[in-house]
Structure 1
Amino acid sequence: MTDDTKPAALMSIGELARNSGLSVRTIRFYCDEGILESQRSGGGHRMFDADSATERLLLVRRLRALGLGLDSITGVLRGEQSMEEAIAAESAELDIEFRSLAWRRASVRAMETAAPAQRIERLALLAAAQDGNALHECLIRFWHRILTPIPRSDSDGWVCWNVPEPPTDPSVDEVVAYAELAALASSPDLNNAVRQQYWRDRPDLIRDPRALYHEMGEIMIDVVPLVADGIPSHSGNELDRFVTAHATARGERDTREFREHLLRDATDSDPRIHRYWSLTDQLLGPRVTIGRAHDWLYNALAEGSAVAAG
């Protein structure tokens, strides 16, 4: 009999348990789950291929030690996914779990450091903000509602620049700021105030909202460096382009009356808007947001109108 035709050596479940370091009960469980194959002896006992069964159980044991679930391990053993794919998926799951735990840790510490008079209010704020990704989606939906007339493909870049990602490992200040930011974005009143600030009218009164949006984007590109350099708001090219863009979008001309129209019912000084952008600045760091650029233009417009009236 050659090695190729010689029957494979078999071992009992007890021997397999000693070789693999797993309990008999665990091996039976793996058999029932289809992870390990066995055959029955004449007496009805489970028997296993001495080499392949031990090797298979060692692989299962090592993958379990890394935290992989049975579904992932079964997929690897059946060739439905590679070991690299299974480990990559587990790594991604651990990243999500880590972010969740880091967020909870920062929230607990935020409660520990809160003044007694603040704890009830802070508890309500943080209890509603335990999923950073969900809060991020809330902020994105907020801005998509503001920019409703604009196709998503056009506004996604704007949203990406101005909406902070949830911090992976937030500090106490960051988790409180992000929770408050999401709470503000959930307010219908703030939605209306920001819409008024951005469009200066109902969007349906504007002939071509998309053209106005793109023109405003070009203006903001030039205003952002002025804000970053601390240059005070003033009349000039940037303000003139801002007014002309709004006037053209409505079939109007840049006149003193139209500038007064842009200031009428303006919500730029709304403290909730300022708080929103202050929190955004805190989370984004040195990046100049559109909120600060808008504020610069509004102040230039208001100051210019005050001078003209005087």
Structure 2
Amino acid sequence: MSPDGIWSIGELAEHAGVTVRTVRFYSNRGLLPEAGRSTGGHRRYGPEALDRLRLIRSLRTLDLPVPEVSRVLDQEDTLEDVIAGQLRELGSRLAALRWREAALQLLQDCTPDERADRLRLIGAMSAPPSTAALARFWRCWLPPRLPGRLASAIIDWSVPRPPADPTPSQVLAFARLNEFVNSPCFTSGRRQLKPHHHDYRPVVLYEGLSEACTLASARMRAELPPHEGEALDCFVSAFAEASGSRDTPGFRRQLSGRLAADPRIDRYWQLTAEVTAPPSGPAEPTLGATHEWLRRALDDQLARSSV
């Protein structure tokens, strides 16, 4: 260092253990301010430049892009915020790699006759996959007059979250689910496929159904078979109140017939259960499974009462 405490670009590079080219790069990007220039036009740096250069190198070691390093140095962003953002991005990249690994494993383990179809299914979705098509499916399936909060709650319950570390079978199930909601019978004719109970007052109906399915889920997690009780009464009450009727034996018989005639999307719920299946332990009941549990509880109650 010269008597006035100023380093040349070469001296700074030597003390920092980097190349002159590296110092020049960060200087040109505005990350490393110069103390001035020599009479010959050469860059000069003050004593604070060494600490700043070491900080830059540490941030770059974390793979922070140069613009983010600049914002941290200028205190436009805190280091904590930048680190949190990097962790989110890294998590997304790792999830994508895990999905690709599971997809490759799926293709490797299948027979030659299966490979072409599975490759087509996998090629139709991103890694990790988007749930946008599934959400669109439910926005078309649900009645248009539902409040946003209620519609969002139903969609959140009905659309499975892609697992971060999927098995090959979960990749295949999600690919088939993606194909299911994009099939022509749903993309071109959803209005004709809507359940008959869309004739009811939708807000009253779906709020009641949400409560009934929550009650049924607790019983399903306890591995109880469909049966009479609070969950079934809440289920029937939702339909009765939404149609301005009373819960009577006659209404229950009529409701059973209407539910039996409703369009079914059993395949959707089967694939959803496969996508969300945990590595061990019982799976969380899907909305479709709870609805079917309640429907069977109603049919069983009617069958017993008719004996």
The TM-score range, normalised by the shorter chain, is: 0.7 to 0.9
Q: Distance in 1 between matches of 2:191 and 2:291?
A: 11
1:47 to 32, 44, 48: 44
Residue pairs, 1:1-310, within 5 angstroms: 8-38=4-34, 39-49=36-46, 51-132=47-128, 134=130, 136-147=131-142, 148-187=144-183, 189-190=185-186, 199-201=195-197, 203=198, 205-206=199-200, 208-233=201-226, 242-252=235-245, 255=250, 258-259=254-255, 262-263=258-259, 265-268=261-264, 273-285=265-277, 286-301=283-298
The 1:214–1:114 alpha-carbon spacing in structure 2 relative to 1, beyond 3 Å, is same
Look up the SS of the partner of 2:45 in the other structure: strand
Look up the SS of the partner of 2:72 in the other structure: helix
Give 2:242's aligned amino acid.
A
Q: Distance in 2 between matches of 1:31 and 1:221?
A: 61
Look up the SS of the partner of 2:291 in the other structure: helix
The 1:83–1:228 alpha-carbon spacing in structure 2 relative to 1, beyond 3 Å, is closer
Q: Do the aligned partners of 1:200 and 1:266 also contact (CA within 8 Å) in 2?
A: yes
The 1:220–1:77 alpha-carbon spacing in structure 2 relative to 1, beyond 3 Å, is closer
Deviation at 1:34, TM superposition (A): 0.9
Look up the SS of the partner of 2:24 in the other structure: helix
Which moved further from structure 2: 178-187 or 20-29?
178-187
How many residues are paired up?
Answer: 295
Q: Do the aligned partners of 2:227 and 2:301 also contact (CA within 8 Å) in 1?
A: yes
The 1:149–1:195 alpha-carbon spacing in structure 2 relative to 1, beyond 3 Å, is farther
Structure 1's unaligned 5+ residue stretches are 1-5
Q: Percent of aligned pairs with the same residue?
A: 34
Which moved further from structure 2: 235-244 or 40-49?
235-244
Which moved further from structure 2: 60-69 or 171-180?
171-180
The 1:277–1:258 alpha-carbon spacing in structure 2 relative to 1, beyond 3 Å, is same
How does the TM-score come out when normalised to structure 1? 0.81
Q: Do the aligned partners of 1:233 and 1:299 also contact (CA within 8 Å) in 2?
A: yes
Deviation at 1:82, TM superposition (A): 2.3
Look up the SS of the partner of 2:261 in the other structure: coil
Q: Distance in 1 between matches of 2:83 and 2:149?
A: 34
How large is the Cα RMSD of the aligned pairs?
3.2
Q: Distance in 2 between matches of 1:151 and 1:33?
A: 51
Look up the SS of the partner of 1:47 in the other structure: strand
Q: Distance in 1 between matches of 2:135 and 2:70?
A: 38
Structure 2's unaligned 5+ residue stretches are 278-282
Look up the SS of the partner of 2:125 in the other structure: coil
Look up the SS of the partner of 1:168 in the other structure: coil
Q: Distance in 2 between matches of 1:195 and 1:103?
A: 35
Q: Tell me what 2:280 maps to.
A: none
Deviation at 1:64, TM superposition (A): 0.9
Give 1:224's aligned amino acid.
S
How does the TM-score come out when normalised to structure 2? 0.82
